[in-house]
Amino acid sequence: MQVMTDEQRQRIAEREYEEHTVGSSVIIKDGNSEFSIGYVSQIEDSISGFQAYVVTDVKLPPYPTKADYAQVKHVTMLYRGSTGPDQWQKHPVDVVADWVGNDLPMAMRILLPDQTPTKGTAQLRKAATFTNKTLKQYPNATFEFYGHSLGSMTVQYGVTSVSDKNLSRISGVYIYNGPNTYRVLNEYQRKRAKLLHDRIYNYVDPHDIIGMGFDQKEGAVGQVFVVNTKKVNDIVLQHMWHGYQYDQYGNMTNVNGRFVHANVLLPIDIDSDNRLDTKVEELYLGFRNYFDASTSARYGVLSDKQTIVINAGVLTNLAQNLQSSILGDLQTIRHITEKCQAKNDAIKDSFEERKKRVSENIKALLATNGLTDTFNSLQSSLERLVGQQDLFDMLSHSASLDYPFSYDEIPYVNNNRLNLAMYDSELASLNTKSLQLASSAQHEKSGWIDSIIGRSTLLKSWQIIDEASRQLLKESDKTFEGTGLRESKADGISDSLKEVFRVELQDIIELEKMIINTSELILGVSQNVTAIDNWLGNSLKNGQFQGSADVVSVPGSYDAYLERTGLLDDVRDILQAFDEQVEQKSRDYSRKVASVYASTFSRLFDTLDYWTTEVNTFKDIVTVLDRRFSDRVYVERTEIKDKTSITTRDYWGNLGTLYPCRIRSGIASARAEVCPLVPALTDTIQRVNTARHRLQNLHGDLSRLIEKGVYSALDLDDIITSQKMVGRLLDKIIVELSFVKATIEASMSGKAASAMVSHLALLLKRLGYFSQLVADCFGTQVTKVPSKAPTRASHKAKRFSLNNPLALQ
């Protein structure tokens, strides 16, 4: 049967609200794929309002026989939630049955004071009848139940009404955003709720108003998980799962950030060969009771409410389970670590390529956050201006107006006598400004270069930015370098990981020896209870039990352990090397980026401001001169005829005719090529300011990019995920062995007990060092939660004593 993620199970529960027909396949969409959970074999829709779908793993014929029902191996029960009040016109009967007949009465009963007698509604009682009937109808099938809202209530009430013989057939119960029905359960149901506790997953959204009654002292149905959800500003959408959140693997976490399920799915392909290196679904991370002989005794909960009778048989179980289970877990840890070690070696071989990849990613980030836009704007404005250097040169040479008039001709312009000095002064201003612009254009040229963004330019202003950007990319290599005691390691990550994996593999060897010796001690106690004094005395060496494995020396402290490994405090910087490269180094690097671009863009801004001012002045001069060209020139002549003076004023032509030809053509070119660039310069200044702001505020993007470079781009993400799984396995073993140690301490006395407790204490200390090492290096996925163990020995338990040997039971 397929192992489901939390997200996939929610998708299954959502199908309860769809309209299905008998025989139809129930399809679950999962991202870009989909799968079927079976076929609808029955639809229940009673007058009480109870609605449910029965989905079987095989498709049944239209009129199935008992033999057909017997072929079904798995049944999925979908209990439908309330029909919303907004569906009143379409489904008036369902709305009345759900809200008037069930939801409102149940809310009143749930909210009654603690210990107030009450009972379920007719709809809930119908659910109980239907549940038992369906279990009987499919005698060879296991059952899973799903329900949301009202469906959660009917599931709670239904599964707790199951007969004793059918309890084992319920493989899982998954209910969402429903009230706590424990108040309305009778004693019979409450006992079954206790028996089914670890198979019932009761999810509650803390932002949903429907999940009520979980603060009562009486109890709840199943394991209640207050889920880590987001706030949705719509109470209906909040109730309908829109606040639920999952990680990339479909796992759900509670409000404390811990995974909801112990057997969380974390696909691990450490060496990137497209094959899972660890079948994580087989790594059941629930806690196991090692006193139990069953190899599948995975309870998920270790509690002082369990009665454990310590006797020789139980100790034999314990010894055997230590070897089979914990050694098995250590073998899994060894397998993961060896794969990580091989992957890290491959990473080391690609160091230069990885640095280049990160540099290219930073280059792309800089380009998309202003460099490309700035380059394009400069090309369309400043580079085009610089390209007009020949024009500026030509206009920079001195010039004056021609004067083709004879002595008896007086030229007039705009009714004023032609003032050559005024016009020559304007030409002088043109000459001076053109000379300045020609000089500036020459200064701005640096020779053609291939820019960082892949195109050529001749602008010196850009070359300054380009060189600074290239230097920043070169300095990005430093994000790979070690810090502190790892300064000699160019690849501060890979080189350091190599040392950590060496220590981890050595830890596994030593822990295996300690497990073997501890197991042999416990087995020896169980097999020699009648002659415990002689056996224990003969087995002690220098006051310690000597088993078949070498005795492992356990350092007195974690610091001493680190010193012995040769890692010293440096080990704590392994993950901090990641953190520093993602946090401190990216922060330093982004500060460097901000500083460099603040300086270079400030210079660019000054350059553009200068050009804008000068070109605007040039434009004003060109505009005045261009307007002069069209002024009309009249010539006044005086003739004497018949002793009478006659003055005439005739049109001669445009003033532009008096200007040198090169000036007229230069002004025309300036109007066409230079003046239109003034708005482009203004736009470039705005874009440069925007780019400067963006490039000075790239810390978040650089952090994510460098993190990707250190993890994904360097293919370290699977190593980190795998090592976090190692940490979870170690935490699980520690919790399990803590339970064993506390139970023995509470149930036994004497030297045999002391010897076992002493060995377990050393083993736990050694495991603790290993766990702390993994946590320091790679972070932890969950918080260690030590289980409670019995605080007093069961009255049925025998107590070991050298003076009162245990009799076999």
Give residue limits of the domains in the chain. Answer: 6-242, 357-481+585-710
CATH number at 6-242: 3.40.50
Nearest-angstrom CA–CA distance, 347 and 674: 55
Q: pLDDT digit string (tens) for 303-319?
A: 444 556 667 777 888 88
pLDDT band at 123 (very low <50, low <70, confident <90, very high): confident
Greater confidence, 80 or 534? Answer: 80
Helix (H) or strand (E) holding 576: helix 572-582
Any alpha helices (H) in 173-292, and if so which ranges?
187-195, 235-237
pLDDT band at 759 (very low <50, low <70, confident <90, very high): confident
pLDDT of residue 711 exceeding 80, the answer is no
Q: pLDDT digit string (tens) for 373-406?
A: 988 999 899 999 999 999 999 999 999 999 999 9
What pLDDT is recorded for position 103?
A: 45
Query: Is the pTM for the entire model greater than 0.75?
Result: no
User: Average pLDDT of 223-233?
Assistant: 90
Greater confidence, 700 or 533? Answer: 700
Greater confidence, 718 or 147? Answer: 147
What pLDDT is recorded for position 219?
A: 83
What pLDDT is recorded for position 582?
A: 57
Which of 291-300, 415-424, 502-511 is least confident?
291-300
What pLDDT is recorded for position 457?
A: 85
Angle at 710 between CA 708 and CA 713, to 5 degrees: 55
Mean pLDDT rounded to a whole number for the chain: 79
Which of 192-196, 240-244, 348-352 is least confident?
348-352
What pLDDT is recorded for position 736?
A: 85
Greater confidence, 610 or 255? Answer: 610
Residue 19 CB neighbours (<10 A): 7
CA distances from 29 to 201, 292, 374, 468 (A): 22, 40, 46, 50
Nearest-angstrom CA–CA distance, 777 and 341: 14
User: Average pLDDT of 235-255?
Assistant: 86
pLDDT of residue 250 exceeding 70, the answer is yes
pLDDT band at 552 (very low <50, low <70, confident <90, very high): confident
Cβ–Cβ under 8 Å, residues 229 and 244: yes
What pLDDT is recorded for position 307?
A: 54
Cβ–Cβ under 8 Å, residues 84 and 76: no
610 beta partners = none
User: Average pLDDT of 52-71?
Assistant: 95
By percentage, how much of the chain surpasses pLDDT 70? 74
What pLDDT is recorded for position 300?
A: 42
Residue 546 CB neighbours (<10 A): 15
pLDDT of residue 543 exceeding 80, the answer is no
User: Average pLDDT of 252-275?
Assistant: 62
pLDDT band at 644 (very low <50, low <70, confident <90, very high): confident
pLDDT of residue 489 exceeding 50, the answer is no
Greater confidence, 498 or 213? Answer: 498
